[in-house]
Structure 1
Amino acid sequence: MKVQALLLAASLVLQGLGALPGLDVAEAAEVEKPNVTIGVGGKPLLYYLPLTLAERLGSFKDEGLNVAINDFGGGAKSLQALIGGSVDGVTGAYEHTIRMQQKKQDIRAVIDLGRYPGIVLAVRKSEADKLKTVANLKGAKIGVTAPGSSTHILVQYAFAKAGLKSDDASFIGVGSGPSAVAAMQRGEIDAIAHLDPVISKLQDLGLIDVLIDTRTTEGTEQLFGGMNPAAVVYFKESFIKANPKTVQAFTNAFYRTLKWLETATPEEVAATVPEEYWLGDKDLYIKAFIASRESYSTDGAIDEASMKSALNLIATTDPSFNASSIDFSKTFDDSFLVKARDR
């Protein structure tokens, strides 16, 4: 173990990270489960940018973790993978921790990555004269990353506020990257609920008009009446209890990544992610990041008001959901975040 610690220390020094305050190299090397698999539903999306940055900046390796990332078609599928046991943790929507609690599945977030959903609901520009409001979307074909994912649920929430039923439109899974752009280009959908860089690409192509924009504080407050947490890192409670050092290492890695992101330039961000994430246009990716920048968490925390907002979204879209049964303390364990900050 001492050899591992020395090798990790040398790696950190070479990367200019050896002097980071509070970084205990020996502790980082002694995680219970150094080889970990994380699920995600659409890794190239800016919604999950902190995951890609943690990977590309070496934040996981700095904490003694060898992380394999499984990219699924949507957040609902990555959640299913966690329940099924094929991944150890998930970078996904906070609302999943609430839904699973009612299903007697103890899933807990340990750090928040996104303060706002970052999801945009937009209509095909050629149909914009007819589809001026959410209520006009009755009977429309709406593209989402995957049925049951956060993009789908946000539209259902908007429908409820507009007096529509959740099945008043057809929802079509269009994936998370070029396939989503192609679906709009080919005329397969009338509207789309999606994230950047897909939304910025469609705007640049002149294909859409925006109805709802939760990339910003203003747009999020207009829809939810306040904040609404988005992507978090969550694990089964059983995994957290069995692997506390591993979970701490994950939290440390993501917290450091959020602090890097807080001051990074758009150009630095674009240079860090894989080129294929640019959708063929680096300048467009930079614009997309700037449009979404407000959505990222700077401290990793979720306050009670935001938790209540997430619960209200679920209760609104699912009348059978028993909101009174939810214990927020079991949806978000901030003990690892506190230690990450103290470092």
Structure 2
Amino acid sequence: MKRRIWRALAASLVLVCAAALAGCGGGSGSATKVKVGEVTRSIFYAPQYVALEKGFFKEEGLDVELQTTPGGDKTMTALLSGAIDVALVGSETSIYVYQQGSEDPVINFGQVTQTDGTFLMARNAGAEFDWDQLKGSVFLGQRKGGMPQMAGEFTLKKNGIDPHADLELIQNIDFANIASAYASGTGEYVQLFEPQASIFEKEGRGKVVASFGVESGNLPYTVFMTKQSYINNNEATVQKFTNALYKAQQWVDANSPEDIADAIMPYFKDSDRDIVISSVKRYKEQGSFATDPIVDEAEWNNLLDVMEQAGELKERVAPDKIVNNSFAEKAKQAK
């Protein structure tokens, strides 16, 4: 009699667990939610949108909720406050946090872009471009302390131009308003991301004459990062996230600008497909999209050089302080 009772109870437990697999650690309901904040919506971040649209995050059992948190300061505030779990932002922001002596440092774990993403546009471009043409001009740059501006100044100095003495540098305009300021007539030269550069070329407002990405070299320009405490408590989740990123990076590397554009169009619904293709093509041709999530030491040192020259670095920060490549290395091994 007792055996029959125990068998009945065991069978009931099996049925209950089968009916609630999500609660027992299985089934579609067990996806882990990860809140991601991107510093801006940009074609520059194509691998992220590919990972979302192609289902690479879902394959890893993750439910990624993406939000745009405009500006590096707002993105970092959201991360530090716990409003988001992971940030896609310039790696310089993690250095700024470290320099302030944070007890819970922000750790770079997955590189997305490996060059600057801006281009130099000339309002009245001649047949041939020479950097000396910028001397005495009005240059519409980017926000002080941000990677676009630091990479821009690094490039100007590399080409023999003192940005604070040889030209009129405007850098007090919010990132979101730079393109409209140029369109309204401000500046003879402007530093722009895609797709705005391609849009202005199509509209006849100017011509792209140089790439700051090419000129400033490889560096961990945009990286997925999170707090050390989040990694400590969610190591498996960070690994799955990095696995999905690597799948997306490999997909982007193997596919055409047209295919990539079609994959990311849901995130740029108001954009012209030809402009998106043109933007992806430019970034792909100059190697802006990282093909794996690893932040290597040479890139990191170049970043420090750029920040040091801009006067934004208190001390050189060794990569092992705020870079963790272990997740990227495991993702590559598992492929």
Mapped to 2, the partners of 1:134 and 1:103 lie a distance apart of 38
Distance (Å, rounded) in 2 between the aligned partners of 1:290 and 1:175: 23
2:51, 2:57 within 8 Å by CA — same for their partners in 1? yes
| 2:154/2:309 contact within 8 Å kept | yes
Corresponding residue for residue 101 of structure 1: 98
> Any idea what the Cα deviations from partners look like across 1:251-294, whole Å, max 9, x if unmatched?
11111111111112222212122356275421121111111112
User: In terms of Rg, which structure is larger?
Assistant: 2
1:233 deviates by: 0.6
d(CA) in 1 for partners of 2:327 and 2:305?
A: 26
Contact 2:44 2:280 in 1 (8 A): no
Distance 1:303 1:51 in 2: 20
| Cα distance in 2, alignment partners of residues 173 and 235 from structure 1 | 29
User: Secondary structure of the equivalent of 2:114?
Assistant: coil
Are the aligned partners of 1:56 and 1:272 in contact in 2 as well (CA < 8 Å)? yes
Residues 139 and 170 in structure 1, CA contact (< 8 A), matched pair in contact too = no
Structure 1 residue 125, shift from structure 2 partner: 2.7
Letter of the 1:169 partner, please give it.
Answer: L
Shift of 1:111: 1.4
Secondary structure of the residue aligned to 1:251 is helix
Q: Which position in structure 1 is the counterpart of 2:302?
A: 309
Write out aligned runs for 1:38-49 (5 A).
38-43=36-41, 45-49=42-46
Structure 1's unaligned 5+ residue stretches are 12-28
After TM superposition, give the deviation of residue 104 of structure 1 in Å: 2.0
**Match of 1:153, as an amino acid?**
M
- The aligned residue for residue 21 of structure 1 is none
Give the Cα–Cα distance (whole angstroms) in 2 for the partners of residues 172 and 205 of structure 1: 25
Residue 118 (str. 1) matches residue 111 (str. 2): no
Aligned residues of 1:133 and 1:211 also touching (Cα < 8 A): no
Does residue 243 of the first structure (1) align with residue 234 of the second (2)? yes
Q: Secondary structure at the match of 1:187?
A: coil
- Paired with 1:263 and 1:136, the residues of 2 have a C-alpha distance of 38
Q: Where does the alignment leave 5 or more consecutive residues of structure 2 unmatched?
A: 1-16
Write the distance in 2 (CA, Å) between the matches of 1:284 and 1:135.
Answer: 28
Q: Is the 8 A contact 2:140 2:182 kept in 1?
A: no
Whether the 8 Å CA contact 2:179–2:192 is kept in 1: the answer is no
Within a 5 Å distance, the mapping from 1:27-38 to structure 2 comes to 34-38=32-36
* Contact 1:151-1:194 within 8 A present in 2 as well: no
The CA deviation string for residues 213-271 of structure 1, in whole angstroms up to 9 with x for no partner, is 044xxx2xxx33x4222211111111111111111121111111111111122222121
Q: Give 2:290's match in structure 1, choosing from 292, 297, 309.
A: 297
Query: Any conservation in 1 of the 2:294–2:329 contact (CA below 8 Å)?
Result: no
Rounded to whole Å, the distance in 2 between the matches of 1:276 and 1:247 is 24
The structural deviation recorded for 1:85 is: 2.9
Identity %: 22
Using the alignment, how far apart are the partners of 1:277 and 1:261 within structure 2? 17
Is the CA contact (8 Å cut-off) linking 1:135 and 1:163 kept in structure 2?
Answer: no
State how far apart, in whole Å, the 1-side matches of 2:321 and 2:238 are: 16
**Counterpart residue identity of residue 218, structure 2:** M
Equivalent residue runs for 1:154-193 within 5 Å: 154-161=151-158, 162-165=161-164, 169-173=169-173, 175=175, 181-193=179-191
In 2, the alpha carbon distance for the partners of 1:96 and 1:307 equals 13
Distance in 2 of aligned mates of 1:132 and 1:255: 38
Does the CA contact (< 8 Å) of 2:109 and 2:328 recur in 1?
yes
Cα 1:48–1:94 shift into 2, 3 Å: same
Instruction: Name the CA shift for 1:165/1:82 in 2 (closer, same or farther; >3 Å).
Output: farther
Aligned residue type for 2:310: T
How big is the shift at 1:58? 1.9
- 1:308: how far off? 0.6
Q: Work out the CA distance in 1 between the residues paired with 2:271 and 2:150.
A: 29
Q: Is the 8 A contact 1:134 1:158 kept in 2?
A: no
Q: How many residue pairs are counted as aligned between the two chains?
A: 306
Q: One-letter code of the match for 2:288?
A: S
Give the residue type in structure 2 aligned to 1:287: S
Q: TM (normalized to structure 1)?
A: 0.78
Alignment partner, residue 72 of structure 1? 69
Alpha-carbon distance between aligned partners in 2 of 1:132 and 1:279, rounded to the nearest angstrom = 35
Q: Name 1:256's counterpart in structure 2.
A: 247
C-alpha displacement of 1:134: 7.0
Q: CA deviation at 1:180?
A: 5.2
Matches within 5 A, 1:221-236: 223-224=215-216, 226-236=217-227
RMSD: 3.0
Q: Give how far 1:307 is off.
A: 0.9
Whether the 8 Å contact between 1:42 and 1:175 is mirrored in structure 2 is no
Single out whichever of 314-323 and 155-164 deviates more from structure 2.
155-164
**Within the alignment, does 1:91 sit opposite 2:88 as a pair?**
yes
* Residue of structure 1 aligned with 2:54, choices 52, 57, 64: 57
Change (3 A) 1:112 1:134: farther
Provide the secondary structure at the position in 2 that maps to 1:203.
helix
Q: In terms of mean alpha carbon deviation, does 328-337 or 279-288 score higher?
A: 279-288
Cα distance in 1 for partners of 2:168, 2:314 equals 20
1:295 counterpart SS class: coil
